[in-house]
Amino acid sequence: MSVQPTRYRGRFAPSPTGPLHPGSLTAALGSWLLARHHGGDWLLRIEDLDPPREVRGAAAQQIATLAAFGMTSDAPIVWQSTRGGAYADALERLLEDGFAFACRCSRNDLSDYEGIHHACIAPVAARADTTRQPAIRLRVGEGVVGFDDAIHGRFEQDVRGEVGDFVLRRADGLWAYQLAVVVDDAAQGITHVVRGADLLDSTPRQILLQRALELPTPAYAHLPLVRDASGRKLSKSDAARPVDPADPLPALRHALIALGQDARVLNGIGSVEIALQRALAAFDPTCIPREPMPSTETTLVSPG
Ligand code: GLU
């Protein structure tokens, strides 16, 4: 009997904190191109876990913008705000198995330790205060956690030393990104996580959680971040200029260049569908650079 190889399943998982900007479009396009290049599916997940940081209408706008760029989810979109039950089940299991623990340390308590938690040091009175919900943390043991990133190669981190026991559910009841992403990547059957390099150093934490929950570890590829013309990182929270869904081709060209691809394949093309087909046909994953392209402004190739 032959074993069926698992079909490639990638995803893009934006937080609805604003419109898509060149950096998030590059992550979306990179994950889409890699999924399609491997004959796989591409799923969309809205990471609406943190209401105070969300911008009303941003999720709908992101979904519409992706559609304008020719990228739509191959399965119903997962909204993390509806997934609390799954996160609660995972947390309960971690608590029962002794991997997670309740913690009443405040930010102030940990300030002498650069915010890194190695042992509960909250004053006795705070620890006994059952009127306040504790945070739940993952207990992180000694040792280096490593993985082979498709773009960056071997990446290793001493999670205990550099991060410490990290939060899974905050004292205010909000779910932490690290727990939600691990539970959802497994629930959606994601085989390949492709995202921005700003999340490279979150991956060892996610691998620790996968091990504790006995979930498979997907393959990882962390895409270069996009820089502005002066070499500064364009981040989600920066006032980066959003991409224009009404005129997708220039931003698509920009994203292809950030992914190390030859954007000349788009020359003379008028529709997004054909642009994506051309980009996919010419796509070479080995050209994706590790570091950001020096300046996306100067590397822009004018359409011929
Ligand atoms: N929601 C995260 C973000 O927008 C990305 C999570 C991920 O791709 O793992 O930064």
Please report, for the chain, the start and end positions of each structural domain, with discontinuous segments joined by +: 9-83+187-287, 84-177
Q: Are domains 9-83+187-287 and 84-177 of this chain identical in fold?
A: no
Burial class, 120, CB count within 10 angstroms (exposed 0-12 / middle 13-18 / buried 19+): middle
Residue 38: Cβ within 10 Å count = 15
Mean pLDDT of 178-207: 98
Report the residue among 54, 181, 182 best suited for mutation to probe ligand 1: largest number of ligand atoms under 8 A from its CB: 181
Cβ–ligand 1 contact at 43 (below 6 Å)? no
Residue 233: Cβ within 10 Å count = 15
Q: Report whether pLDDT(303) > 60.
A: no
Right CATH for 84-177 from 1.10.3720.10, 3.90.1010.10, 3.40.50.300, 3.90.800.10: 3.90.800.10
Residue 157 contacts residue 47 (beta carbons within 8 Å): no
Using the 8-state DSSP alphabet, how is residue 97 labeled?
T
**Domain spanning 9-83+187-287: which CATH class is it, in words?**
alpha beta
Cβ–ligand 1 contact at 199 (below 6 Å)? yes
CA of 302 to the centre of ligand 1 (A): 31
Q: Which helix (H) or strand (E) holds 10?
A: strand 9-12
Report the residue among 29, 177, 178, 234 best suited for mutation to probe ligand 1: largest number of ligand atoms under 8 A from its CB: 177
Q: How confident is the model at residue 293 (pLDDT cuts 50, 70, 90)?
A: confident
Cβ–ligand 1 contact at 13 (below 6 Å)? yes
In the prediction, which pLDDT does 298 show? 39
In the prediction, which pLDDT does 301 show? 41
Q: How many Å apart are CA 138 and CA 248, to the nearest integer?
A: 42
Cβ–ligand 1 contact at 44 (below 6 Å)? no
pLDDT tens column, 217-272:
999 999 998 876 566 665 544 446 899 999 999 999 999 999 999 999 999 998 99
Q: Report whether pLDDT(126) > 80.
A: yes
Atom of ligand 1 nearest to the CA of 196: 8
User: Which SS3 state, helix, strand or coil, does residue 219 take?
Assistant: strand
* pTM for the predicted model, two decimal places: 0.92
Residue 85: Cβ within 10 Å count = 8
| Alpha carbon distances (Å) from 91 to 27, 137, 140, 253 | 29, 10, 15, 43
Cβ–ligand 1 contact at 14 (below 6 Å)? yes
Residue 104 contacts residue 123 (beta carbons within 8 Å): no
CA of 178 to the centre of ligand 1 (A): 10
